[in-house]
Amino acid sequence: MPTSIFVLAFALVFCGLAGPASAQQGLGSLESLVRGEEVRQQAISASDLPDLNQDVISDKARLPGSLSADKTRIGQDRDIDPDTYIVGPNDVLQLYIWGEFDQPYTLQVNPEGNVIIPTVGSFHISGLSLTAAKERLSTAVQNKYPNVGISISLVSMRFFTAYVTGAVLNEGSFTIHPTTRVLDIIKQAGGFEGRLQRGALPDQDAGGPTNSNTGRRSIQLIHRDGTSERVDLDMFLATGDLAHNPYVRMGDMVHVSFRKHSVSIFGAVNEEGEYEFLPGDTLGDLVTLAKGLNRSKPLISAELWRFQEDTGQAEVIELGSAKETLEELDYETIRHIELRPNDAIFIRARSLWQSTYTVVISGEVRFQGRYRIEPGVTRIKDVVAAAGGLTDEASLIGARVIRTKVRAEKDPQLEQLKRQSEIAGLTDMNIEDRAYLKTKTREEKGRIAVDFERLFVDGDEGQNILLANGDVIFFPMQRHTINVSGQVQRAGLIDYEPGRKVRYYITKAGGYLYDADRRHARLVRARTGVREKLKDNLLVEVGDEIWVPQKERIDYWALTQETIPTVFNILTLAALLRGAFF
């Protein structure tokens, strides 16, 4: 017993000594926990709310200071229309009475569709428009308290369930809110489905690539009362008219089917292609789906290609033409023409209408920039003159004209050889393919063969070529040096001296380094870009470049490791053959 009392006393003394510091630490930790919990209770993410999809409210859900009703802040695209908004379970209304007494009431619609007003009664308002619900509640309150003022407002919208079936990636039920539209819930369902592959990617306008099989213009929005309406999402995306993308109500079913018929439009529209056909469609509807006419050029004709009934033959129906009169086709006269399944419309515009043809000149000219040309008339000298002529520092040796249209063209054979070389190297190529790859890789694509010295010095008008739209003319600055690069003692620029040969410039650069690969050294001509095998007696011209590569280092150990198995196999084979014959 005395021992127990001693231990207890010691513990009390120890706690008294250690208490203040540990208590401070404990209070600090507790305060942090409380503060964190307050923050968590004030802002709860959508993933923490029961039965709510994260995609539905995107972290915008909030709890109010008072827990008398659940309030969530839902994104809206416009003000609520009381005449069309349908009240349902979990909607929250605010009733305020003033006059003889001031009293606010928070009215939450219960799962049975009723709200209870203390001292007044219970009222069923689910399924009524917001306007009708307000009138029913106001009448009841005024009957009870005739001398008071009343205001009723919607303060929080509910979440509910709707369904998506048919040609979507994920059929089923989805938690949404009253401002969810058809396109929104289809996005929640993963987008439109492909006809041939259930695991296809979502549709572009609902989260992925476009799928031409789904009936995006014939979506059925089926209501609980059995009525339905057709939703045309393609028309909504083409026009932005929200009437084609209505709200989804509680218990609605959105059914997406595959398209049955199509029509096509090509030519002077902003998005040509194939579109779903619906009975009653006109040419104007199809043009609207194609994002309208391209009015940058005058319309000259419109044709309708229509299959003859029960045949594979199509007849061409001319809807209008202004080819002979050179006037613009009057689109308004043909926009009301009705279409049939598989029709194809071709609307043509004038080619090259009011086109501006230009070239760019840069480098050593007085006024660089873009200049307009007349195709078939304007030549190099014309543009140089328009640019104020050449400066004193302009070099004719390195000047060039690049035809950008040709430069942009792809060489299928070259691209194939490049891919082959990246995968397997050059070993599997024949001599011709290797030579083609080597030559085409080095050439300056689109460069036009023009000798500017003959043009401007000798006056050879044969070099004064006609220019085309998009050409680029470049005059570099004169170089009075020779560039010696690679494996030499002092690589760099060396002053040019007329009549000097390669030997002179190599000597000026200090000579070759020990690892210089003289066999593969080259002289690159500034005038033509051609690479010549480097020889000591070659005459060097101004602007030329001498390039000396480094010898490839041989890893003799690795070579030995690779060679020994081969030698061993050869010796083994020889021994076997010797034993076989002797």
Please check whether residue 123 is in contact with residue 136, taking contact to mean a CB–CB distance below 8 angstroms. Answer: yes
Task: Check residue 24 and give its pLDDT.
Answer: 38
**Exposed, middle or buried, 216 (CB in 10 Å: 0-12/13-18/19+)?**
buried
Task: Check residue 102 and give its pLDDT.
Answer: 87
Alpha-carbon torsion, ordered 129, 131, 133, 135, to 10 deg: -150
**Summary count for the chain: helices (H), strands (E):** 13, 25
Least confident of 87-91, 307-311, 402-406, 507-511: 307-311
Tokens of 108: 């939450």
**Tens-place pLDDT, residues 218-272:** 999 999 989 999 999 999 999 999 999 999 999 999 999 999 999 999 999 999 9
**Which string of b and e fits 183-198 if b means at least 16 CB within 10 Å?**
bbbbbbbbbbbbeeee
Tell me which H or E stretch contains 121: strand 121-124
The structure tokens 């940058």 sit at: 296
| Structural domains present in the chain | 81-156 (3.30.1950.10), 160-256 (3.10.560.10), 262-349 (3.10.560.10), 358-475 (3.10.560.10), 481-548 (3.10.560.10)
- pLDDT band at residue 89 under the 50/70/90 scheme: very high
Say how many C-beta atoms besides its own lie within 10 A of residue 380's C-beta: 23
- For the cut 80, the answer to whether the pLDDT of residue 60 exceeds it is no
* Sign of the CA dihedral running 199, 205, 208, 211: positive
pLDDT mean across residues, the chain: 81
Kindly list the distances between the CA atom of residue 4 and the CA atoms of 9, 18, 101, 518, in Å, as whole numbers in the listed order. Answer: 9, 21, 67, 99
* Sign of the CA dihedral running 259, 265, 266, 268: negative
425: left (phi over 0), alpha (psi -120 to 50) or beta: left
Tell me which H or E stretch contains 472: strand 472-475
- pLDDT band at residue 283 under the 50/70/90 scheme: very high
User: Which of 128 and 31 is assigned the larger pLDDT?
Assistant: 128
* pTM for the model: 0.56
Distance CA 136, CA 581 (A): 116
Q: Please give the full DSSP string across 314-364, using - where no structure is assigned.
A: EEEEEEEE-TTTTPPP-GGGTTT-B--TT-EEEEEE-TTTT---EEEEEES
Task: Check residue 423 and give its pLDDT.
Answer: 78
Strands (E), 134-261: 149-156, 160-166, 172-176, 219-222, 228-231, 253-256
- For the cut 50, the answer to whether the pLDDT of residue 322 exceeds it is yes
In DSSP terms, which residues pair with 390 in a beta bridge? 365
Task: Check residue 235 and give its pLDDT.
Answer: 95
Q: Is 85 helix (H, G, I), strand (E, B) or coil?
A: coil
